[in-house]
Structure 1
């Protein structure tokens, strides 16, 4: 299967670039170690989403108070780090409880050179406005396109319209908003991804990131099968053709298998987080110029690599 995927890269260079009307740049993102992920709730989360089960929080830097976040970020800046992802567990309403951290985020922006990416969840309009006033660089927003997934996977009594409403509030308030669509979120089954893509494509967004379900140990979906690489490629290709004007990325949460990367590459993706060497060779064979970026794929490229 891997060999077949590699053979698929043997399109002519001109045909590939013309098909997607894209630039010749391909970005390889490396968040570690200069773009750490921080949890403002430590390992705590009021939810128990089936795809996460609080497992991802265990691998983040714990900063459960504004004072601790400030100290940590000053330390990151002194070490020459590029930026930080601010995240954490959800409250019972489905968003990361950032209210008491807004002032310190503004202070960090003023006193350091760090780029700040906030993964916020289903925030209300007032909090979206406050995050914009704090001057953060980008919002990473999980966009779900099926009511069934919101109820059965996330475990909250909300609808797709609530997610779109929150996205609208963020787009209005924050200069850079990057929706994240998890392919196969519903236990590996495709459900609502096309609707999520339609919603994202209709908004003034800065970029679009695709993730792929990882059946993580210790979660309700640990025995699930992720969607096949071809399905991932089809969605990315559809996004590429809908929005040729924005960067489209394959993010860090995905099965680390070559076929997913090659499928995304052939679908016209602009960048991949921690790609394999075979993928970089495939990109070069298509006439793309590989550029390494020490950071998160949602952050504007002006923050360097």
Structure 2
């Protein structure tokens, strides 16, 4: 079986006997809590949990601290501009000072043309993260964005064209078409040849318009992981950091272990021993998107 990577970046407090997030890669918002959109499932709440890196001084302070701690990378994120992209590229001069000492993984937002993609490349971004949505209704009514499915697909194509690795995320439970819409998002990604694929689950957040929505069932999460593994047998597939938790979801992580899923972020504690008895396990404080490089290191060593 493939090696299994268990991840714990510094996105939330996570502590087990085998791994904790205290020294995990930092997640920094270059816009602070600001975003041009107000997605119903997020409501800008996710930005509140990130480190504020909304000016040069704040961002450089966090980067230097990460280097001094011995971190190998950082996660850059933030709210979108009205054009759709996260304006990480505004700090390209600063980021280039440190890009040879840190792996920069970035949530890019929607990329409308190759020129914007090139700005991310020039900022030292190595891996790009962006959700994939398979229907215009969800983009319009849930995300509140004036974009299309084609805009999302083109974003990945532009990023790949300029030489950035792509790790699309599919949020199970997001589509207004139900699980069929979520699974369609996975299928559509065949068109863009991703370097990794990350499956996550909708987590109802207090204070958002979708706070009372029912999260995806364990069965739907398993269906998504199975489809992703079956369709993309030559790239890493991860169960990402955002996902429903609880006793009934233990079987999702056990399925991930048994079905050759490559990575699990913030695994339930009992999964470690379960996995060790079946696969070669590696522990990491990186963003799980770094599976692209982690897998290469392990295979080549």
TM-score normalised according to structure 1 size: 0.86
Q: How does 1:118-157 map to 2 (within 5 A)?
A: 118-125=106-113, 126-157=115-146
Q: How does 1:17-166 map to 2 (within 5 A)?
A: 17=1, 23=2, 25-31=3-9, 32=21, 33-110=23-100, 113-125=101-113, 126-166=115-155
Q: Is the 8 A contact 1:216 1:222 kept in 2?
A: yes
Deviation of 1:241 (Å): 1.4
**In structure 2, what is the Cα distance between the partners aligned to 1:203 and 1:89?**
24
Q: Cα 1:254–1:188, aligned 2, differ >3 Å: closer, same or farther?
A: farther
Q: How does 1:1-305 map to 2 (within 5 A)?
A: 17=1, 23=2, 25-31=3-9, 32=21, 33-110=23-100, 113-125=101-113, 126-186=115-175, 189-257=178-246, 258-285=250-277, 287-299=278-290, 300-301=293-294
Q: Is the 8 A contact 1:184 1:191 kept in 2?
A: no
**In structure 2, what is the Cα distance between the partners aligned to 1:39 and 1:134?**
15
**In structure 1, what is the Cα distance between the partners aligned to 2:70 and 2:138?**
40
Deviation of 1:135 (Å): 2.8
Deviation of 1:38 (Å): 0.2
TM-score normalised according to structure 2 size: 0.87
SS of structure 1 residue aligned to 2:24: coil
**In structure 1, what is the Cα distance between the partners aligned to 2:169 and 2:153?**
13
Counterpart in the other structure of 2:12: none
Q: Is the 8 A contact 2:92 2:124 kept in 1?
A: no
Deviation of 1:72 (Å): 1.7
Q: Cα 1:85–1:97, aligned 2, differ >3 Å: closer, same or farther?
A: same
Deviation of 1:242 (Å): 1.3
**In structure 2, what is the Cα distance between the partners aligned to 1:303 and 1:119?**
22
1:59-85 Cα deviation digits (max 9, x unpaired): 111011134212320121011122111
Structure 2 stretches lacking a partner, 5+ long:
10-20
**In structure 2, what is the Cα distance between the partners aligned to 1:174 and 1:181?**
22
**In structure 1, what is the Cα distance between the partners aligned to 2:95 and 2:138?**
32
**In structure 2, what is the Cα distance between the partners aligned to 1:134 and 1:294?**
23
Q: What is the RMSD of the two structures over their aligned residues, measured on CA atoms?
A: 2.0
Deviation of 1:92 (Å): 2.1
1:264-299 Cα deviation digits (max 9, x unpaired): 3344311100111222233234x2111111211101
How many equivalent pairs are there?
A: 280
**In structure 2, what is the Cα distance between the partners aligned to 1:236 and 1:267?**
9
SS of structure 1 residue aligned to 2:244: coil
